[in-house]
Amino acid sequence: MTNPKKTNSKITRIHPELFPEEKLFAPHDKENDNPPDIVQADDEFEEVDESDLGPPGPIRREVVSTNESKRADIFMFEVMAQTPPRGKPRLYRDGTNNAAIIQLCAEPEKHGFGTGGDSHERRHAREARELQYRLAETFTLGGPSTRHGIDEIAATLFERAPHLAAAIEALRESALLAMSRGAFWLQSVPILIVGEPGCGKSDLIERYAKLANLPVLYLDASSLTTTTALISADSVFSSSRPSELLRALADSRVANLLVIVDELDKLRDVSRGGSDTPTEALIGLLSKASASRHMDSFLQAEIDLSHLNWILLANDISRIAAPLRDRCKIIRVEQPDADAMAQIVAKEVVTRGLEPELAAALFEAYEAGRIRSLRKLHKALDAAAATKSRPRFN
């Protein structure tokens, strides 16, 4: 994964380009120049007639010609110009191109924000109004759209981390279940992965996000001192500001972006009136029914957050509120055993282009107890790679 930028609040946001050089859409079929139309998907992902939707096909990543690139850009421009009714995803299609679209919230009312009050109230009103206009635009729902695409991701992940098979299978099964119910984008139930530090949880999810080709909001809960990153600060306080969820949605315009909360069990809330169980702040966001009608305290308006893909990582599950655990699929993972470590070492040495003899040396260090976690293994591999790339002076 590319190196993310760190913000002052130690929150990482990663937003893939909407129109990368490698296009995600096939060229327009001139011989079958059908007018664009919109097909509605059911709220509960019931079976959808594929003959009505048209074959979405796998996400394509081949580099396209200049003319094909322009057609793909024009198609996406047309997609973003649509205004679907709120609440239900639509499939916008133009010949062979398909895009799932949705509207998450209504535009602010013309007289919904007053001009009176002090400077803080006027500033909040202006910022909230501007943000709500951005969130009321057309959003897409992305990620792999076929079973084959999901299976390929799972196979790639398993090759790199065989000891995390349970977590990989949970991600795969959840996505396939949503597809079987009619979703033609990546959708997953909230997943909580629990394991001791250094077992590869974070690395696995970073790879998953990259392969899924979705925008990512990464929150390091151990660095947070309030829950504002998850739920907006109330508009009555002078420190009111929107949550990182809203900011990431507005920046990416992808309704089903991945939200990764690392070290969830270390989340704290030391603000005035802060909760002793801060993880409870997530409960309403993880329930589809309540998330679809989330009342944001900064916007003072409802917004649909039910399409977010939540992946939570923790070391100590006992520090996570029981109601939150009940809303997640919980997967427990362990450190790799000797066989898994041998596979991982061999694969990493080849992937990084290091000397084959290094694999045996690293595995010996593992057996001797000097390397007992994937975190230490990757540090050793990084050091070896740095030594190899260092210029030699005669």
User: Could you identify the residue written with the tokens 């913000």?
Assistant: 7
Least confidently predicted of 67-76, 152-161, 165-174, 259-268 = 67-76
* Residue 45 pLDDT class (50, 70, 90 cuts): very low
- Per-residue model confidence (pLDDT) at position 58: 33
pLDDT value at residue 377: 76
Q: Is 266 helix (H, G, I), strand (E, B) or coil?
A: helix
Helical axes 147-160 vs 338-351, angle rounded to 10°: 100
Q: Cβ atoms within 10 A of the Cβ of 97, count?
A: 23
Q: What pLDDT was estimated at residue 95? A: 62
Cα dist from 322 to 191, 231, 277, 283, 312, whole Å? 14, 19, 10, 10, 14
Where do the domains of the chain lie? 15-106+135-141, 147-332, 338-389
pLDDT value at residue 212? 94
- Backbone φ, ψ for residue 88 (5° rounding): -125, 125
Q: 101 phi and psi, to 5 degrees?
A: -130, 155
Q: How many CB atoms lie within 10 A of CB 128?
A: 23
Say what the pLDDT of residue 30 is: 38
From CA 277, how far away is CA 356, in angstroms rounded? 49
The neighbouring-strand residues paired with 194 are: 314, 332
Provide the 10 A C-beta neighbour count for residue 120.
14
Amino acid, res. 42: D
Residue 99's pLDDT band, with cuts at 50, 70 and 90, is confident
Is pLDDT of 136 > 70? yes
Residue, of 75 and 297, whose pLDDT is higher: 297
Which fold, 147-332?
A: Rossmann fold (3.40.50)
Output the six-digit token pair for 251.
């920046």
What number is the average pLDDT over the span 260-273? 79
Closest listed residue to residue 33, CA positions, set 92, 76, 95, 87: 95
* Residues paired with 373 in a beta bridge: none
The mean per-residue pLDDT over the stretch 371-393 comes to: 71
Secondary structure (DSSP) of 41-94: PPTT-----HHHH----PPP--B--HHHHHHHHHHHHHHHH--PPBTS-EEEEE
**pLDDT value of position 274:** 57
What integer best gives the mean pLDDT of the chain? 76
What number is the average pLDDT over the span 177-195? Answer: 93
For residue 230, the model assigns a pLDDT of 82
- The per-residue pLDDT for range 209-234, each reduced to its tens digit, is 999 999 999 999 888 877 777 887 66
Give residue 50's pLDDT band: very low, low, confident or very high (50, 70, 90): very low
pLDDT, position 327: 94
